[in-house]
């Protein structure tokens, strides 16, 4: 008997392993165990944090919410993107959206935004290059002077039919300062043909990237030849400067190269990967040019439409010498200028719409349940979008005139305390996501605005240009939002 039992055991095992039905049963059991473990962890997370599902949702009628997808497509390719999104963000402070069988979330709740930025920052993930900006924040403001002078002279020369559009001049100015910072040479040092080609390719690449961001997972659908060629040209441009800096280091040593190309050499020391260095340069270049230029554009856009505000600022700026180099101390002694910039960043934040995906199960502090006050459990991979554009126009924070350009609201400091930087007021993001070039951008914009208002004391809105209420003006959307129809003033 012992012999029979011994011989039968291995044969039985072989039969089991050889049986397809037995293998399927084992696989099913394993999958059920994994699913059960996942559901148990999800239930435990939900119970531990007392989470409840988000009740408000964006309504739709067609299967897979195809009608909603069509509406969003029309909005994202319109001239009033963010105003088109306003009805959806007005549904609730936190809302869910169902598209193509997937559920995502969007919010304007300051507590949820704080969680994404700060308290649960690790749950979303982001790489930073913070150390390279320490040198930037210590830059002497003399680096801005030649570029500001070129900007001012360009305004005087750029009149067409009695008016000047300041917008392209602002973008040229910030492209010069940013390339000087990153590449050690300003864009303006190139000959006119090359300079215009780089600018045009940069503009077209940024426009295309803005479209691809809006398409999200369907970004691959937008890849026309002109866009691909523009991206390749900008990439080659950045490659040229990165290679030039590395070659300088190889031939003349790190110390000499760091004097000429400090930002690139700092990146190289950290990353030791040429393509990664080039890509980081492009990221900073896009953000550095666009964020400051749109800040300047919208500030002057509203100054010329609000003569009393403009006059008040001109009176303050009169205390600053009109010749020579400006200093940080002189700029810091202009509190109303900072109020104007704060108000611009409130209505037109540098990153008006953001999207992140949870890299593990995480919790939003509010938005769940019928009253929207319970925590919300987000599964790993869940997407959460938040609109700073709409957050900054909440009457609950900014009062009944939240949709009016009124810099005076910032003067006594109480609004900043109530809104709280990084929670209800997010000028350059917040928490660990705080924009690393914030000080550089504010200083760069302040320097230029001061000199423009000093050089052109009679600046005003050009005749026949409409003075639209805030929110009705047409805008373009790439990384930030810019006035589509420009910033027009009479010829100086």
pLDDT tens-place string over residues 103-155: 999 999 999 999 988 877 677 655 555 555 555 556 678 889 999 999 999 99
The per-residue pLDDT for range 41-81, each reduced to its tens digit, is: 555 555 566 899 999 999 999 998 999 989 998 998 899 99
Phi-psi region of 399 (alpha: psi -120 to 50; beta: other; left: phi over 0): left
Residue 308: strand, helix, or coil = helix
pLDDT of 424 > 90? The answer is yes
Q: Which residue has the tokens 């005003």?
A: 460
The encoded tokens of residue 406 equal 């009124």
Binding residues for heme: 435
Residue 301 DSSP symbol = H
| Spatial separation of the C-alpha atoms in residues 96 and 78, rounded to whole Å | 23
pLDDT at 3: 44
Cα–Cα distances in angstroms (integers) from residue 142 to residues 63, 138, 319, 476, in the given order: 60, 12, 19, 32
Given pLDDT bands bounded at 50, 70 and 90, which one contains residue 461?
very high
C-alpha 113/C-alpha 387 separation (Å) is: 9
pLDDT, mean over the chain = 86
The tens digit of pLDDT for each residue in 26-46 reads 566 556 555 555 555 555 555
- Is 173 within 8 Å of 144 (Cβ atoms)? no
Question: Taking 90 as the threshold, does the pLDDT of residue 292 lie above it?
Answer: yes
User: Regarding predicted confidence, which is higher, 17 or 490?
Assistant: 490
Q: Among all chains, which residue has been given the structure tokens 């940013």?
A: 178
Contacts of residue 336, defined as CB under 8 A and 6 or more positions apart, other chains included, come to 312, 313, 316, 407, 411
Beta strands in 152-296 (DSSP E): 163-165
pLDDT at 136 (0 to 100):
57
Residues 6+ apart with CB under 8 A from 384: 104, 105, 106, 107, 112, 116, 355, 356, 357, 358, 364, 378
pLDDT at 335: 98
Compute the distance between CA of residue 459 and CA of residue 488 in angstroms, rounded to an integer: 10
What is residue 11's predicted lDDT score, i.e. its pLDDT? 47
Q: How confident is the model at residue 5 (pLDDT cuts 50, 70, 90)?
A: very low
Determine how many CB atoms are found less than 10 A away from the CB of residue 152.
18
- Would you state the pLDDT for residue 428? 84
Binding site, by residue number, is 435
Of residues 334 and 209, more confidence is placed in 334
Least confident of 256-270, 298-312, 389-403: 256-270
Both tokens assigned to 102: 């997937």
pLDDT in tens, 221-231: 889 999 999 99
The separation between CA 377 and the C-alpha centre of its own chain, rounded to angstroms, equals 25
pLDDT number for residue 131: 53
Query: How is the chain split into domains, by residue range?
Result: 2-48, 139-349+392-490
Is a pLDDT exceeding 90 seen at residue 338?
Answer: yes
Q: Is the pLDDT of residue 1 over 70?
A: no
**Domain 139-349+392-490 CATH superfamily:** Cytochrome P450 (1.10.630.10)
Name the burial class of residue 230, with classes exposed (0-12), middle (13-18) and buried (19+) by CB atoms within 10 angstroms of its CB: buried
Q: Flag whether pLDDT at 14 surpasses 50.
A: no
In this prediction, residue 8 carries a pLDDT of 45
Q: What's the Cα-to-Cα distance from 170 to each of 202, 297, 406, 447, rounded to whole Å?
A: 15, 7, 23, 12
């Amino acid at each position: 008997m012992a012999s029979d039992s011994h011989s039968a055991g291995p044969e039985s095992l072989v039969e089991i392993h050889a049986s397809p039905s037995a293998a399927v049963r084992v696989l099913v059991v394993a999958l059920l165990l994994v699913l059960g473990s996942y559901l148990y962890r999800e239930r435990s997370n939900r119970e531990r944090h007392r989470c409840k599902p988000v009740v408000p949702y964006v309504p739709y009628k067609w299967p897979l919410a195809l009608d909603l997808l069509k509406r969003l497509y029309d909005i994202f390719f319109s001239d009033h993107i963010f105003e088109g999104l306003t009805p959806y963000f007005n549904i609730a402070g936190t809302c869910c959206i169902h598209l193509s069988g997937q559920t995502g979330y969007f919010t304007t709740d300051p507590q949820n935004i704080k969680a994404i930025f700060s308290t649960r920052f690790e749950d979303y993930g982001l790489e930073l290059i913070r150390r390279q900006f320490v040198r930037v924040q210590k830059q002497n403001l003399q680096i801005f002077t030649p570029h500001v002078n070129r900007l001012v002279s360009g305004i005087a020369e750029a009149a067409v039919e009695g008016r000047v559009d300041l917008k392209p001049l602002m973008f040229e100015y910030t492209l010069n300062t940013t390339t000087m910072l990153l590449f050690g040479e300003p864009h303006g040092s190139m000959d006119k043909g090359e300079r215009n080609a780089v600018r045009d390719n940069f503009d077209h690449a940024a426009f295309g990237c803005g479209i691809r961001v809006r398409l999200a997972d369907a970004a691959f659908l937008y890849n026309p030849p002109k866009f691909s060629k523009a991206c390749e040209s900008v990439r080659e441009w950045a490659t040229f400067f990165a290679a030039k800096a590395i070659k300088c280091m190889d031939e003349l040593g790190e110390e000499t190269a760091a004097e000429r190309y400090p930002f690139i050499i700092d990146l190289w020391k950290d990353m030791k990967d040429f393509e990664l260095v080039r890509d980081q340069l492009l990221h900073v270049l896009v953000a550095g040019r666009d964020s400051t230029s749109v800040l300047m554009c919208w500030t002057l856009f509203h100054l010329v439409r609000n003569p009393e505000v403009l006059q008040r600022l001109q009176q303050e700026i009169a205390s600053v010498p009109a010749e020579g180099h400006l200093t940080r101390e002189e700029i810091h002694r202009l509190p109303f200028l900072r109020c104007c910039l704060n108000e611009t960043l409130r209505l037109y934040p540098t990153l008006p719409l953001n999207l992140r995906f949870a890299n593990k199960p995480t919790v939003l502090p509010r938005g769940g349940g019928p009253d929207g006050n319970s925590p919300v459990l987000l599964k790993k991979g869940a997407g959460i979008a938040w609109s700073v554009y709409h957050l900054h126009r909440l009457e609950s924070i900014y009062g009944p005139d939240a949709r009016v350009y009124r810099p005076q609201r910032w003067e006594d400091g109480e609004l900043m305390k109530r809104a709280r930087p990084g929670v209800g007021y997010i000028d350059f993001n917040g928490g660990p996501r705080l924009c690393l070039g914030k000080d550089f951008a504010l200083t760069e914009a302040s320097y230029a605005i001061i000199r423009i208002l000093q050089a052109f004391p009679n600046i005003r809105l050009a005749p026949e240009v409409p003075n639209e209420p805030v929110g009705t003006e047409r805008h373009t959307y790439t990384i930030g939002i810019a006035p589509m129809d420009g910033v027009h003033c009479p010829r100086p």
